[in-house]
Each structure stands twice: as structure tokens, then as C-alpha cells.
A and B are shown apart, each in its own frame.
Chain A
């Protein structure tokens, strides 16, 4: 994906992207490659990381299960349906 650094305001690079540049993205200059400046055209590539997504899902599901088991029998102020 192409983007252009239209301008730099404070520490924020204002990127114009998408069809006819109708989208404006404020991007911290500190997260851009060193030496980026106004008028630079950027190539932005974004990939889906399915492995990392799956791993995160597994981590949170197992944490959920762990917590549910921990509380077994102790419903506190919550009454069953």
C-alpha cells in the first residue's frame, strides 16, 4: 500500500493513503523508518499473522477456563438462572 507523508505536525506524520488519498492517518514519526521526511512516498505492507492470532486466542481461552475452575462453587452474590 502506498502512502505519502503530506506533512509533519509536531511529532506526527500525516499520511495520505487509499483511493484518491481520501484517508488521512496520523502516525507517530518515531515509529517510521529513520530519516523519513515530508514528501516521502512510503510502501506500507500489512500481513495477517494467523499463527499469532491463534496463539493469542488459545492463551486467553485457557486463562478463562483457569479462572472459571478457580471459582467453582463460589457464586457470591450472583444467583443462577
Chain B
């Protein structure tokens, strides 16, 4: 073989090795983690998808079972690697009955608390009948779904909090490279205190707010430690329980967190490559719909760390103002604004922002 031929062969070989290496790098870099926050009305349900693996956390009330099932099917889920029941309340486990009946489930992680409802008994019976491996949660466990992502069980602690199903909710922290999620279930202030003193790293980009945004969760000391850029509240429109409370919405706002809600945004999905994340919502909140182009879904991308956001939020027709003492938001020029004491004045960057914090349009100036 001639020397030049050999050189050529080497070049080709080197090139193909390089190409293969680049291809491999591209594949691993494009592997996305998606956490879905399903709109199940007044209840919780989250789906975690990574590298062909699927974890379902809660499934709303019993009547939401079919809705969760079709969501799973539409997202290519045929079986679940893990099913997590954060705690035995019906607005979290009700829909799991359909899932257990119709999907293959490789393992169940339960809070280890008993309850007296028929729904809970049926859930246990189904797991028994299908011989699904059953594990109870405990702070310090890790879930080995894939080597690339870390899933930690931060709560409940052992021993459990006495007589309070919510406080003993399973709390998970999911970390993919630089992006992290904290999923609180219905854990409240007592659980938060325990988390704060547990030494766990609570700092997270995305927070699934505890207990549907009620005032029994999301203490300011807790939020100050989590510092979520994005907060997601799973809550039913017009629910009878006053969720989310204005107090919680304000607390989230004062940490600088952007709030998404399933009652206003429908299904919410956060996709991340471990560096940046993109938020896709099924619908705009109603008062922003008119100001945004015809897209039916909105997508917003942030980079983590510094304030170098790559895309601006879909709606930004502010500023709007309101009073901490009322639930109306106004154009700054509105006559009602003059009556607001400066100490109570709140500013919103957009109507979506105002709406997300529980404010409604003023009847005088009719802000869009």
C-alpha cells in the first residue's frame, strides 16, 4: 500500500471516529427530561419522562383516571417504571385505581400511611392482586431511574408526623445536571421545617407548590431556601377550599418566582436538557389570550443561573398595578389607583402575572 493511501485511510478512519463521537455526544446532549404537571382539576398528578422511562406521581381524584390514562397514552407511555402515591388522600390516589388496572406498573412507592377510605383499600388490593413490588418512602432513599438523573426522597422522615396524612407526603427532588425540581405533594409547614433542618439541599429551579397553594404550606423561610424560579400550583378552577390563597401567591411572588397554575394554564410541561428548560402550557391564562398571537400553546425558555433568558415570556403588556389590600388590578392611569396607599402598591409585569397572583381586572379601567 502506498504511503499516501495509508494517510488517506487514516484520515477517513479518524474522521469516522470523530463523526461517531460527535453523534454520540449529540444523542446524549439531546436527551431531555420532561416533568408534566397534569391538569386534573382539584388534585395532583405529575409524570416524569426520561430516556424511555416513566414515573407517575399521583393521578388526581377517581373520576380523573380516564383523563390521566389518555394523557399517558398520548405521551407514549405504555407501562410505568414507578408509581408514586404521595399520600392516601383521594385527590391524589383516586385516579391511580384506573392506572393500576390498565397499565403495567413495575413498582409502587407509597408514603406508608394507612387510611380508612374504600379508595385506599382498593388501591392496596390492586397492588396485592397484581403482585406489584411495594416500597414505603423514607427520607434518604434514592430512586435509580437512570444514571443521568438523581431522584431523592426528602420526606417523610421516620418516624412519621403523627395524625397528619398531608405532612407525611412523599417529597421528591429530581436533579438533571444543573436543573432541579422539588415536588412537595401536600406537605405543609411542619414538613417544611423538618426539611429545613434536615440538611438537604432544597435549592430548586422548579417547585411543585405544596398542598395546592393553601396557606398550610409554603412558609417564607422555606421558599427563601428553595428559591424557585418557577412555581407550579396544581389546583382546580373555582374549588371550594380557597386554593390557592392570596397569601401563598404573594409569598411566591416575593421570592421572585414565576407562577404557573393548572387551573389557568391547563397541562404544564417542563422540558430540560440539564442546562436550560422550556415550559409549555396547554393554554394561556384567559386574559392574555387576546394579546398573544394565534398560538394555542406558549413556550418560554430560561437558562439557569444568570439572567440570560433566551426568550421573553409570551405576554408582557404591562405594567399593571394593584393593591395588596384588594384583588383588582388596574392600568396605572386608572382613577382607583390614586386611592391605593403607596405601601400597598403592587406592580405586575403583565396581566398574566396579575391573574396568576389571584387578581382580577378592575371594573373601571378594564385592563386587558
Contacts and interface: CB of A to CB of B under 8 A. Distances in A.
A37 B115 CA distance: 12
B165 interface: yes
Contacts of B316: none
Contact of A7 (B89, B118, B122, B243): B89
A21 B119 contact: yes
A10 B241 contact: yes
Contacts of B163: 37-38
Nearest to B117: A4
Contact of A12 (B91, B115, B241): B241
A20 B214 CA distance: 28
Interface string B225-241: 00000000000000011
A41 interface: yes
Given A7-B165, A9-B214, A26-B240, A20 B118 contact: yes
Determine which residue in A26, A38, A40, A41 has the highest number of CB atoms from chain B within 10 A of its CB, and name it.
A38
Determine which residue in A9, A10, A22 has the highest number of CB atoms from chain B within 10 A of its CB, and name it.
A9
Contact of A24 (B90, B166, B214): B90
Contacts of B122: 20
B240 A4 contact: no
Contacts of A39: 115-116, 165
A15 B117 CA distance: 10
A41 B119 CA distance: 13
Contact of B118 (A16, A24, A37): A16
Classify chain A: how many residues form its interface, as a range.
10 to 19
A14 B88 CA distance: 13
B140 interface: no
A21 to B, nearest CB: 5
A4 B116 contact: yes
Classify chain B: how many residues form its interface, as a range.
20 to 34
A19 B119 CA distance: 11
Contacts of B90: 6-7, 14, 16, 21, 24
A12 B240 contact: yes
Nearest to B91: A7
Contacts of B89: 6-7
Contacts of B204: none
B323 interface: no
Nearest to B215: A10
A37 B214 CA distance: 19
Interface in A3-38: 4, 6-7, 9-10, 12, 14, 16, 20-22, 24, 26, 37-38
A28 to B, nearest CB: 10
B240 A6 contact: no
Interface string B99-140: 000000000000000011111001000000000000000000
B242 interface: yes
A14 to B, nearest CB: 8
A21 B116 contact: no
B280 interface: no
Contacts of A21: 62, 90, 117-119
Contacts of B115: 6, 39
A16 B241 contact: no
B63 interface: yes
B61 interface: yes
A23 to B, nearest CB: 10
Contacts of A37: 163
Nearest to A38: B165
Nearest to B94: A21
Closest 7 CB pairs of A and B: A9-B241, A4-B117, A39-B116, A6-B90, A7-B89, A21-B118, A26-B240
Interface of A: 4, 6-7, 9-10, 12, 14, 16, 20-22, 24, 26, 37-41
